[in-house]
Amino acid sequence: MENEQLLAVYAETRSAATLDEIVRRNQNLLHHILKRFSYASEPYEDLLQVANLGLIKAAQRFDGGRGVRFSTYATAIVDGELRHHLRDSLLMRQPRWVKKVYQQIQDKSAELSHKLGRPPEVAELAKALNINEDGILEVMNLYSRIQLHSHDEPFTSAQLQAGADPHLVHSLRQQTFALPIEDKIALYAAMDRLSSFQKRLIYLLFFKDLTQSEVAQEMGLTQKKVSRESIKALGRLKEVMGKKVF
């Protein structure tokens, strides 16, 4: 049977065996689509797995009554899945401080847009966030490059690995009981140098403000163990922050 005939059978039966056959028959199509992503640093097998998930999604959604060939429809779906995957993968690799600042920019931009009835200017964002304009532009430009990379204007791995320069980001003014943005960046960068266990311990104690007893219950430890390990984690954090972080 042709693709469209198999898909008609699958639409009626939702047979797993029929879906498997559709996927098997369209592997060459996936390899053809993946040629568009030769610039990606992701392992080919990982991209092929994403492409296969897109192919399954296309088969499940395909409507033969619309007069579009399955290969055309599947190409669009798989291409979109691959681009989303590359974008999300690049976003996940960004340092914690970059993601924090970007989320603050997004949230504050939405808040000011609602308040002003228009998109805020960079100077307005800078004032509201207490982050210098160059710092805001540095983070926004990085995310713009990531979006372009995942679409039709791929950058080299060196261009993307350069990331955002933390030295361009600083506070406009001192705030009582608040760390300047440059100190927060140093703290987040230092946190990334801790073990997963130490990160969670510090997060629960100092970011969620739990007691040692609450942390012990959360992590399945004794309070004595939490006390001992928190001293080690803080010591490690002090050691890392006492050195050059960037």
Delimit the CATH 1.20.120.1810 region(s) of the chain: 3-92
Q: What percent of the chain has pLDDT over 90?
A: 45
Delimit the CATH 1.10.10 region(s) of the chain: 193-246
Average pLDDT value for residue range 177-199: 80
pLDDT of residue 242: 76
Please tell me the CATH code under which domain 3-92 is placed.
Answer: 1.20.120.1810
**Mean pLDDT rounded to a whole number for the chain:** 85
Mind listing the pLDDT tens digit for each residue in 14-61? 999 999 999 999 999 999 999 998 878 789 999 999 999 999 999 999
Cα separation, 201 vs 120, in Å, equals 38
At residue 245, does pLDDT exceed 50?
no
pLDDT of residue 58: 96
Cα separation, 57 vs 27, in Å, equals 14
pLDDT of residue 163: 65
pLDDT of residue 192: 84
Are 35 and 72 in contact by the 8 Å Cβ rule? The answer is no
> Could you name the CATH architecture of 193-246?
Orthogonal Bundle (1.10)
pLDDT of residue 113: 96
CA distances from 104 to 5, 101, 126, 147 (A): 51, 5, 11, 18
